[in-house]
Amino acid sequence: MLAVNGFGTVSCLGADLAGTREFFRSTGGAPEGPHTLSFPGISADSLREADLRGFDTSGEDYFTLLRAERIKTESRSIVLLRHALAQLAPELDAAFTRFGKERIACVTGTSTASLNEAERDLEEGKSPDEGFDFSLGNVACMSDYVRDTLKIGGPCWSAATACTSSSRALISAAGLIEAGVADAVIAGGVSVISHVTAAGFKSLGVLSDERCLPFHRARKGINIGEAAVLTVITREPLCGSDLFLAGFGATADGFSISAPAPDAGPQKEAVREAMRRAGIGPEDIGCAALHGTGTPANDAMESRLMHDLLPDVPAFAPKYFTGHTLSAAGAMGVMLSALVIEDEIPIPALPYAAEDIDPELPRFSLVTERGRRPKGRYALADSFAFGGNNAAVIIGTHGK
C-alpha cells in the first residue's frame, strides 16, 4: 500500500484539481450541451505562449488547429507538463525535505512527446543545421524535463505504451519504491494532439465527427483530447494525503495491433491481478473509471469485462467529458476516481436514457443518473492500448 499525494492537472475539465472538481459540482455530475475540449481559466502567464483555444472535434479541423499553433519557447507537451508539475509544489517540497532530491524518481507516460513541434519543423523544411531538433520526438524528453528542472537524482524515464502509458507510469512508480530504488516518484502522463495521432485514428475509422458516446447505440468513435495529470507516489503520506495505491495489474496479450481481445480474457486478468494485490473483491469497489472509447470494439470488450467480473460496480466513462487523452487517460481515470471516493464529486454520469445504451452490449452498472455516490472506499481505473496492452489500477481512501 503506497500513498498517492496530490494531483497536478490541466485538461478541458479545468486548469487544476480545484477547477476539475468544480466542473462536476457545477454540472451535477452529468454535463450536457455543446461539447468543447478547450482549456478554461488558464492565463497566458501560466502557459506562456501556448495557444489553448477550443477546437471542433471533426477530423479535418485537428490539422487546421495544429498548423495555427506556434509555441516558441517550449513544446506544447512540456507546457502542459510544467503547468501540472507546478501544482505539486507542496508535495514536492515535502518530499525533498524528507528524502532529499537524490531519492526522487520520475516516470511519465507519453506517446508522442513533442512530436507536433517536430512535425511543424519538418513541414517548414528545417534541417538539423537550421534548428531541427531530433529530440522533440524522443519520449524521454518528458521525464528529462522533470529531472533537469527539479534537479532530482533518482531514475527517470518515460513509458510509451500508447493509451496505457500513464497507468504503466504509476505501476512503475510502485515498483521503484517497493524495490527500494526511490523514496518518492513523480508519475503520470501528458498527451497533446499531433498529426501522427490524428491521422492514425482517422485511418482506423474511429475518429468521430460528433461527441464521443461510450456504450451508446449511436456511438461513432473517439474525440482526441489533451491533458496532463501528475501525482507523487511515496510509501508514507505527504501533506496529509488520505489516498493510497492499493493494487495494480497488467497484461500484454498481443491479440492485435489495434483491436482488443473480444472475449476480454486478458483484460479481466489485469483487473483480477489488481484486486489480488489490493486484497479486495468486487464488492469492495465503489466505482470504476472505464476506458470507454466509444468505439465498437472497445465498448463491446469492456462491457463483457464488466458484465462477467464487476456487474454491480457503478461505472463511468471519462472520455465522454475529456475526449480520449491517450497517454494521459489512465492517470485521468485515477484522478477522477480519487475525487469520487473522497466524496469530492458524485460519480460522473452519462446523460443517457435507458434506451440510448447499445442493447447489443452485455449489461453492467453504467451510471446514468445524477448524484450517485460510491458505497465502497476503493476505485478501479482501466486502460487498454494498441498491441494488447492492458492495465488496471486500484486506489483507495482511509476515510476522513
Q: What is the pLDDT of residues 184-227, one digit of tens each?
A: 999 999 998 777 787 888 888 888 878 889 999 999 998 888 89
**Integer Cα distance of 66 and 182 in angstroms:** 38
What is the model's pLDDT at position 133? 67
Q: Is 268 left (phi over 0), alpha (psi -120 to 50) or beta?
A: alpha
What is the pLDDT confidence band of residue 147, given thresholds at 50, 70 and 90?
Answer: very high
Domain coverage including residue 324:
2-397
As a whole number of Å, the end-to-end CA separation of the chain is 18
Count of domains for the chain: 1
What is the model's pLDDT at position 274? 98
The domain that holds 259 is classified in CATH as 3.40.47.10
3-state per-residue secondary structure call for 183-231:
CEEEEEEEECCCHHHHHHHHHCCCECCCCCCCCECCCCCECECCEEEEE
DSSP state, 111? S
What is the model's pLDDT at position 51? 31
What is the model's pLDDT at position 28? 66
Give tens-digit pLDDT for 51-110: 333 323 333 333 333 333 333 346 778 888 888 998 999 999 999 999 999 999 999 999
What is the model's pLDDT at position 32? 57
What is the model's pLDDT at position 328? 96
